[in-house]
Amino acid sequence: QVHLAESGGGLVQAGGSLRLSCAASGRTFNMGWFRQAPGKEREFVAAVNWGGDVTNYADSVKGRFTISKDVAKNTVYLQMNNLKPEDTGVYYCAADARWTTVLQSHGYDYWGQGTQVTVSS
């Protein structure tokens, strides 16, 4: 069993930055970030492979968000720059999907509780 704990959410103005962290209690492999806005389905944001050297991003965040993984600390980060109001939502960390299914929420075995990100205009 793996426990994931997110941190780093908050309220920021448009154009600002936030850095989310997700610490895993056990060894994890491929990891991802998803987000869910009120009244919308959970959507893929970014994923990183077990070694931290291969990444994948949703088109809506490419060039603004960076996912990274500290393998030694078993922690994944999401650096979010140039935030927009449409980035508002609860951000979830997820772990242990096959790389072929990292874009799909059902592909992950473990989920964190989520952290709120609110971007004001």
pLDDT in the model for residue 97: 85
Q: Which of 76, 105, 102, 62 is nearest to 4 (CA)?
A: 76
Q: How many residues does the chain have?
A: 121
pLDDT in the model for residue 28: 80
- Kindly report, residue by residue over 69-108, the tens digit of the pLDDT: 999 999 999 999 999 999 999 999 999 888 888 999 999 9
pLDDT in the model for residue 5: 94
pLDDT in the model for residue 80: 98
Neighbours of 102 (CB within 10 A): 22
pLDDT in the model for residue 69: 95
pLDDT in the model for residue 3: 94
Question: Beta strand pairing status for 115-120 and 10-13?
Answer: parallel
- Kindly report, residue by residue over 7-63, the tens digit of the pLDDT: 999 999 999 999 999 999 988 889 999 999 999 999 999 999 999 999 999 999 999
pLDDT in the model for residue 4: 95
pLDDT in the model for residue 26: 80
Neighbours of 71 (CB within 10 A): 13
